[in-house]
């Protein structure tokens, strides 16, 4: 399974759209969908920005074991949720 499947799974669990993640990483809204259609892997240079947008670690995206247990960052996870909710509200207001 490519790491894009993990990105999709995590984003779905958190209620964050792939289009939102794309906006956060500065890519077109279909960037991750295109990778998913190929069932490919997200380029390594994009893993950190995607992990930040989702509020997870790169290791969670790649399935690798963490060498050191980092202090869980609830703040980054909450920021990802807050950004997703804000974007959803903005869409509603614009209609």
Can you read off the two tokens belonging to residue 88?
A: 């959803």
C-alpha to C-alpha distance for 85 and 16, rounded to whole angstroms: 8
C-alpha to C-alpha distance for 23 and 44, rounded to whole angstroms: 18
How deeply is 93 buried, as exposed, middle or buried, from its count of CB atoms within 10 A (0-12, 13-18, 19+)? exposed
Structure confidence by residue, pLDDT tens digits, 9-66: 999 998 999 999 999 999 998 899 899 888 788 999 999 999 999 989 988 888 776 5
Residue 40's pLDDT is what?
A: 82
C-alpha to C-alpha distance for 68 and 80, rounded to whole angstroms: 23
Cα dihedral across residues 48, 53, 56, 60: positive or negative: negative
- Within 10 A of 54 (CB to CB), how many other CB atoms are there? 25
Show Cβ contacts of residue 33 under 8 Å, excluding neighbours closer than 6 positions: 18
Whole-structure pTM over 0.75, yes or no?
Answer: no
């Amino acid at each position: 399974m490519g790491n894009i499947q993990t990105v999709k799974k995590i984003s779905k669990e958190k209620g964050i759209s792939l289009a939102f993640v794309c906006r956060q990483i500065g890519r077109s809204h279909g960037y991750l969908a295109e990778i998913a259609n190929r069932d490919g892997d997200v380029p390594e240079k994009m893993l950190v920005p995607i992990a930040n947008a989702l509020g997870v670690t790169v290791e969670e995206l790649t399935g690798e074991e963490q060498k050191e247990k980092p202090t869980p960052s609830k703040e980054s996870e909450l920021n990802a949720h807050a950004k997703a909710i804000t974007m959803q509200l903005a869409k509603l207001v614009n209609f």
